[in-house]
Structure 1
Amino acid sequence: MKVGKLSTCLIDKGRHNNIMITDMDIYLFDLQGYIHLEEALTQKEVDGLNACVNKIPSLSPGQWYGHIHGHTYGDKDGLNYQQIYEAGEPFEELIDHPSWFHRVRFFIGGEGSFDEMHGPMFIDENLLNFRQSGEGIGLHNGGKLGISRCQFRYLNGKFHCNQINILIALTDIGPGDGGTVIVPGSHKSNFDNPDFGQFSMGARGKCPSLMRGAIEIHLRAGDALLFVDCCTHGSANRVNDGQRRTAVYRYGPSWGNFRHGYQPSPELLDRLTPERRQIVWPQTLIPRTPQV
Structure 2
Amino acid sequence: MPRIAFRYRMANSKYEYVKAFERSNYLLPNSWIVVRLDGRGFHKFSAKHRFEKPNDKRALDLMNAAAIGVMKELPDLILGYGVSDEFSFVFHKDCSLFERRESKLSTTVVSTFTSYYVHLWSTFFPDTPLSPPLPSFDGRAVVYPSVSNLRDYISWRQVDCHINNLYNTTFWALIQHGGMDGKEAEKALMGTVSSDKNEILFSRFGINYNNEPEMFKKGSVVFREYEQVLGPMSASRSSTPATEGTGQAEPLSKTAAERERKTRARARIAVEHIDVIKDDFWVRRPWILSGKAGKLPKEN
- Could you say whether these structures have the same fold, taking a TM-score greater than 0.5 normalized by the shorter chain as the test? no
In terms of fraction of residues, the more strand-rich structure is: 1
Q: Which has the larger radius of gyration?
A: 2
